[in-house]
Structure 1
Amino acid sequence: MSLLITDECINCDVCEPECPNGAITQGAEIYEITPHKCTECVGHYDTPQCVEVCPIDCIIPDPDVRESKAELMHKYEILTTKS
C-alpha cells in the first residue's frame, strides 16, 4: 500500500529528498505523498526511507490505498522504465 503523512507532520523537510520516486511534495500545510508514485521503496530499499528518517513517526500505511508487495514492485517497474 502507499504511505500517508498524517497531520502530525512538522514540515521538517527530511522525508522529501529521501523518496527515490519523487512521491513526496510540500502540500498546502504539510508534506504529502502521491499514492501512484509511492512504492514504499520496494525496488529501491528494504524499508521505506521516509519512515526511517521521520523524527516524529507521522508516516503510516494509507488505509485507502492497499497494495501487495507484487503490486508495489509492478508500480516500481512502471515508474523506473523509460518509454
Structure 2
Amino acid sequence: MRVHIDQDKCCGAGSCVLSAPDVFDQRDEDGIVVLVDAEPPAELHDAVREAAALCPAAAITTEQTERV
C-alpha cells in the first residue's frame, strides 16, 4: 500500500492520527497532516483505510502496490 495526502485539502481534524499514529502526524503550528510512513506495513493497512474513510476533507488516498 502507498499512502498519499493532500495537505491543501486537510482541515486539521486529526482523525487520521487517532486511527493510525504510526502513519500520520500533524504539524504543530496548524494541525495539517504530515505523512510519517508512505508505505506502511501490512498490519497497519486496515488502520490507514479507516483513517482515509474518516477524513472529513478526503485528504487521504491509498493505492495498492504489488509485492516484489
TM-score between both structures, scaled by the size of structure 1: 0.55
Q: Once the two structures are aligned, what percentage of the paired residues are identical?
A: 14
Aligned-pair Cα RMSD in Å: 3.0
TM-score between both structures, scaled by the size of structure 2: 0.63
Cα distance in 2 between the residues matched to 1:9 and 1:49: 16
Cα distance in 1 between the residues matched to 2:42 and 2:17: 17
* Larger strand share, 1 or 2: 2
- Give the count of matched residue pairs: 64
Match in the other structure for 1:77: none
Cα distance in 2 between the residues matched to 1:56 and 1:4: 11
Q: Which has the higher contact order (CA 8 A, sep 6+)?
A: 2
Once the two structures are TM-superposed, the CA of residue 5 in structure 1 deviates from its matched residue by 3.6
Cα 1:46–1:69 change in 2 (3 A) is farther
Once the two structures are TM-superposed, the CA of residue 51 in structure 1 deviates from its matched residue by 0.4
